[in-house]
Amino acid sequence: MTAWLPWLDYNELHMREGRLGCRLLWMEGVGWGGVGWGGEVRLENLGRSHHSTWKKAGIHEAIFSSTYQIKRQTDLVFGFAEKWSCETNTFIFPWGEATITLEDVMLVQVWAWERFSDLRPENPNPLNYGEPRMARWDTSNRQKVKNLRRVLDSAREEFMWRPYALDVVENWHCLNTILKRKSGFRLDLIRMMNYSHLFRCLRVSELVGLNGAIEHYLPRRVAMQFGYDQDLPGSVTQLKHKPDTAWKNYIEEAKKVKMYLPSRLFKVDVSSSLNLDSVSLLAE
């Protein structure tokens, strides 16, 4: 299994493999049975040298999340695989689309637990101060689900679009302090420079993985996961760049961009145009 490391401003830190003590974009084997890239002892030693860099880059929590054991729930993972679309890189449900975004650092199984209350373990672990959010699920026993397909297909009202902004977990400090704001606000270009990680989470891009693998990232298809109403996403030309070009485009700074960041309390919905389109499709 693999997990993305979000919020990382590579352009600012000029990072190379080894500078952080781990691979840049992907961590292999995260979570299933423990650390997948060298063991807790090695991680502790690396932490002494790279702690401040990891904190600055925003990946400290992601790295230490790999020390927790998540009990594999194979049927749940396969159930979500059934909903996956390779064309859009999203899960397609009867009530909408959702996906693992650059805001997430977790396995599919944990992503599901965070968002579907009927799937998560009944008693998540309490967090100690400073522990990553993944510690909630360490060695947790799975919840028995008789009909997974029915749970997924009927979760329209129960699905949690923004668990990090709305799901209050004691002793957990949100990676992005903006998500804590109770009122929306606009970012002009100057202030935008301080929130380039947010811009990357919201911008269509090509993500480069190990061995030059490229996946298209289409956040406009899951706008509600970022606190915006969902409109018709439209089509995006897949450019199929080479890895070096895709990476250069990914780290490019925002230029002449203004953004509105909604309140974390904003209740997301679909736009009127999307509603009308849905009705016309049903009529056909």
Model pLDDT for residues 213-235, shown as the tens digit of each residue: 888 899 999 999 998 999 888 77
- Position 217 scores a pLDDT of 92
Where is mean pLDDT largest: 53-62, 192-201, 244-253? 244-253
- Position 94 scores a pLDDT of 92
CA atoms of 214 and 99, how far apart (whole Å): 17
Decide if pLDDT at 79 tops 90.
yes
> Mean pLDDT throughout 36-52?
63
| Residue 44 pLDDT class (50, 70, 90 cuts) | low
Note the helical H segments in 82-153: 108-115, 148-153
Contact (CB, 8 A) for 203 and 242: no
The amino acid at residue 168 is V
The alpha carbon of residue 43 and the mean position of all alpha carbons in its chain are separated, in whole angstroms, by 23
On average, the pLDDT of the chain sits at 75
Token couple for 85: 């679309």
| Residue 179 pLDDT class (50, 70, 90 cuts) | low
Token couple for 33: 């049975």
Largest CA distance in the chain: 62
- Position 281 scores a pLDDT of 45
Note the helical H segments in the chain: 10-13, 39-57, 60-65, 74-81, 108-115, 148-153, 163-166, 189-192, 196-202, 243-250, 272-283
Decide if pLDDT at 191 tops 60.
no
**Cβ atoms < 10 Å from Cβ of 1:** 16
What residues contact 11, with CB distance under 8 A and at least 6 apart?
196, 251, 252, 253
- Position 178 scores a pLDDT of 52
**Cβ atoms < 10 Å from Cβ of 218:** 19
- Position 219 scores a pLDDT of 92
